[in-house]
Structure 1
Amino acid sequence: MTENPSATGDTMVELIKVSKSYPPDVIALSNVSLSIDVGEMFFIIGKSGAGKTTLLKLISYMEPPNSGLIEVAGNDLRRLKGNKLAKLRQRIGVAYQDFKLLLDRTVSENIAISMEVSYKQPSQIQRRVRSLLDQLQLADKHNTITGELSRGEQQRITLARAVANSPALLLVDEPTGNLDAETTVRVMQLLHKSNKSGATVVIATHDESIYRNTDHRVMELRQGIIRGVRKAAVS
C-alpha cells in the first residue's frame, strides 16, 4: 500500500465499523463506516457532542479508535509508526476548533510552520503566507503576536496554517463559529479553492449556511451514530 496521500486512488478516507469511547462510559462514536473520495468536499454535521470532532481526531490519528479500521490514502493507520506516520501527517492539514496556535509567535510564524517542516524555501514560504493573509483580509496582521488577535482572527490564522502546505487531505473543525457572514464567505472561498486544487476537504460544522446551497455530500451524526448521508439540496 502507498504511504503518500496524494497518490492516485479513488478513496482518501475509509472507516470500517469504527468506535471510540472515553472513560468512564462516554460513547463518542459507535460502529461508524464511511468512505470519502479523493478530491471530495464532505460535510459532517450534528449538534455539539454528536462526535464530529472525535471523528476528525481519529482520521488525523491524533487519537486511536477502540475498534475498527481507519485508512487514509490506502494506509492502515494502525500500522504506521515513527517517520512513516510523520510523513503522512505532513500531507494532512488540520484546522482545530480550539486553534492550537503558538500565541507568543507572530501570525506569519504560525502559518509558516507546516511549510518549514516540509523544508520549503524561505522565499516560497513568505509568498504563500502573504497570499493567504490577503485572501483572509489579514494582511496587516503579518507581524502581529498571535495572542493579541481576536478569536475570529485566530480562527482564520488556524485555517491559513492548515492550508498553507497544500495538503492532500484537509480536516476543518467548525471553521465559521466565530465569524460574521462576510468573513464566513471568504473562509469558504479559501476552502473551495483548496478543494478545486485537488485537496480532499472534510468539514465538521453545525453552521447550515455553509452547506445549504451546495451539492456536496452531507453526513449527519447523532450521539456518535451516522443518521444519514445525503446530497445537500441546491436552491
Structure 2
Amino acid sequence: MHHTNPDVESGDDTVAQTNETSQAVPALSTLSNFREQYYTCLTARADALFELTDAALCADGPVTSPVELSLAGEHRRGHGSVYAALNDGRVDQDALRDVLAAQPLPRAGGIGANGRARIVLAVDVTSWLRPEAPTSAGRSFCHVYGRGRGNAQLIPGWQYSYIAALESGATSWTALLDIQRLHPDDDVSLITATQLRAIVERLQRNGTHRSDDPTSWWSPTPATTFPASRCS
C-alpha cells in the first residue's frame, strides 16, 4: 500500500517555492551588496552606526528618541554606543550618494526605442519642526499646513531637500537618491538644481541613464517654486 507523507510537499508546491526562491536570490544579493557598500561609507564608528541603521529600519514604528534603538534586537551594543555613534560617527556623504545612484532604480513609463523606460525624479522640501529647541543651530521658519484650525503657519525647524526616483502606478515606494539640509540663507531653487545636476551626472557615469534612454523628467512638489522640467 502506498502512503503519502503529509510532511512532503506536492510537486506543484515545490515548483512554486523553487520559483519564489529563484526570484528572491537576486534581490537578496542586491541587498547584501548594498549593505557592504554602505558599510564602506561609514568612516568612523562604523560598526555602531551600522547597527544603529539596522535598528532604525527594523523598528516597529516611528523612532521618537535615539535611546529606544538601543533596545532593538538589531542593536547588540550598549546604550552608550548610540550616542557615541551619533556624536563621533562619520559618513562619507559623496560615497554614499554614489552607492545610492548605483542601485537598481524604478522607472515610470515612457518606453524608449531601446526598450528602457524613463527615470522620473521627484523633488520635495520637507520640514522637521523644532519649535521648542531654541539652542538648535540653523533653524528657519517652515511654512506648514494642517495644524490647529488648518491655517498655514510658520514654525521654527529644519528643512530638507529630498530627491527620489518614482515608480509608476499607485505606490508609496520611492528610491531616495539625495537629501540636503537647507539653511536659512540658502536659495532653494539653486540648491535643488545643484542636487539634480549631480544626480544626473552620477546616473550617467554609472550607466543607469544612457545616452539613448528616454529623457529623465523631474517634477517639484508644491513646496518648491520652479516648474517641472527635464534633464538629458
TM-score range, shorter chain: under 0.3
Q: Which has the higher contact order (CA 8 A, sep 6+)?
A: 1
Taking structure 1 as the reference length, the TM-score comes to: 0.24
